[in-house]
Amino acid sequence: MTKLAIMGAMQEEIDPLLEFFKEYKVVEYADNKYYETSYKGLDIVIAHSKIGKVFSSLTASTMIQKFSCDTLLFSGVAGAVNPNLNIGDMVIATQLCQHDLDITAFGHPNGYVPGGKVLVDSSKELLKIAKEVAQKNNLKVIEGIIATGDQFVHSNERKDFIEKTFNADALEMEGGSVAVVCDALNVPFFILRAISDSANGEANFDFDEFLHSSAKISSDYLVKIIDELIKK
């Protein structure tokens, strides 16, 4: 690893990281801001993509191709699908899918298009490091499948469909598309999400209340992972 990309979807998800690193240079490109910093000798580029699969694909591609990042970490919040997940719990993605990708009319399974995959695997090495860091710091971290779609899910019916179809544990709006970009460009990636809502009818209330605290939980853990990556 020579240059690290750190992404979030919203400004609130990267603000704790910018506060931690303190000094950075702002580069404006492709209608977005990229924050360049250095930490313990490692060059880092931080950005929030804006919400959704298109913007997150654009940001991930830019960080890899324009800024020459060779590893990508994503920190943010997600809604729980797995009933055992509570607000503030952290989920690290073993695999990611796009739950709203649907050409089933042509006989393909949900989440699949020709030339693509239903499930994209995260970097096994980054997952291993993340689990070691969690164990060392006595943090409760759950491995699972994260489902991505261009919709803020707030109905039990849709949540149940996603859980049954993809065996998903959490859902959000960017990780699956970032995974596709990184997989295609052979860049190791890691998606971390802190649970901010239960992805049911109460989602609007929960999300507003817990976005900031869950983003802080997620970013604190991410910094510990970066420290371990630097030692490798």
Axis-axis angle for helices 175-184, 53-65 (nearest 10): 30
DSSP result, 125-151: HHHHHHHHHHHHTT--EEEEEEEE-SS
CATH fold for the domain made of 3-230 = Rossmann fold (3.40.50)
Return mean pLDDT, the chain. Answer: 93
Residue boundaries of the structural domains of the chain: 3-230
Distance CA 102, CA 9 (A): 23
The residues assigned a catalytic role are 13, 197
- Would you place residue 202 in the very low, low, confident or very high pLDDT band (cuts 50, 70, 90)? low
The Cα–Cα gap between 132 and 128 comes to 6
Q: What pLDDT does 101 receive? A: 97
| pLDDT cut 70: percent of the chain above it | 95
Q: Are 187 and 122 in contact (CB under 8 A)?
A: no
Q: Quick one: pLDDT band at residue 1, thresholds 50, 70, 90? A: confident
Nearest to 180 by CA among 126, 112, 78: 112
Output phi, psi for 4, to 5 deg.
Answer: -105, 135
Task: Give residue 212's pLDDT.
Answer: 81
- Quick: pLDDT tens for 146-191: 999 999 988 889 999 999 999 999 999 999 999 999 999 999 999 9
pLDDT in tens, 63-121: 999 999 999 999 988 999 998 898 889 999 999 999 999 999 999 999 999 999 999 99
Residue 206 has pLDDT above 70, yes or no: no
pTM, two decimals, is 0.94
